[in-house]
Amino acid sequence: MKRMSKQSIEHCIKGALKGDAKKNALELASYFRTVEIIAERETTGYWADKIYWNVSYKNESICNIAIDENQDGSWYITGDDSESNWFENPSLDKRIKEVIWKNVVVCDDYASCGGCGSPDIASRKVVFGKAFNRVCLITLKFNNPDAETIACIKKIFELRKNDILKGFEGEK
């Protein structure tokens, strides 16, 4: 597939996903625009020829989104909180926490997360009030999120945005 660095995330979603996957991904992309979250296509290194976006707010990372062009309708969202403690905030609704906990990436010897491949650097982490051992650096991975999961993701993005804004306020 040719590089599509100038195409919007919506354009790529429409071309690569179908059915509910397409609907849910477009819902999330629309949400980004309404809350000033930016999705920028990665055009360098390993990800240059993949369908992959870095998602940020005020130039601070929120997550990454990838569409697997080799698997019809497959996409995922990963989060990286390695430089923040915002996941420690337990103030979410119980159902949202349960959805999030189901998507915590625990490293194993097979690097099932598809991430770093180094489970020895995984750590103990508290994610919205629940402790996990051997958590991957990406912390969360949402595979083919359904509508309920997209709603939960929006809630945690709001928390991350607030965390970013607090950081900016602290710099003043």
Model pLDDT, residue 142? 94
Q: What pLDDT, in 10s, does the model give residues 120-161?
A: 566 788 888 898 888 877 888 999 999 999 999 999 899 888
8 A C-beta contact, residue 88 and residue 76: no
- Domain extent listing, the chain: 9-171
Q: Flag whether pLDDT at 22 surpasses 60.
A: yes
| Structure confidence at residue 84 as a pLDDT band (50, 70, 90) | low
Q: Bigger pLDDT: 135 or 77?
A: 77
Q: Flag whether pLDDT at 3 surpasses 80.
A: no
Q: Flag whether pLDDT at 96 surpasses 70.
A: yes
Q: What pLDDT, in 10s, does the model give residues 23-39?
A: 999 999 999 999 999 99
3-state helix/strand/coil string of 25-87: HHHHHHHHHHCCCEEEECCCHHHHHCEEEEEEECCEEEEEEEEECCCCCEEEEEECCCCCCHH
Contacts of 171 (CB under 8 A, 6+ apart): none
Nearest 5°: the CA angle 91, 93, 98 is: 110
Residue 81 token pair: 């909180």
User: Coil, strand or helix: which one is 136?
Assistant: strand
Q: Bigger pLDDT: 91 or 88?
A: 91
8 A C-beta contact, residue 52 and residue 106: no
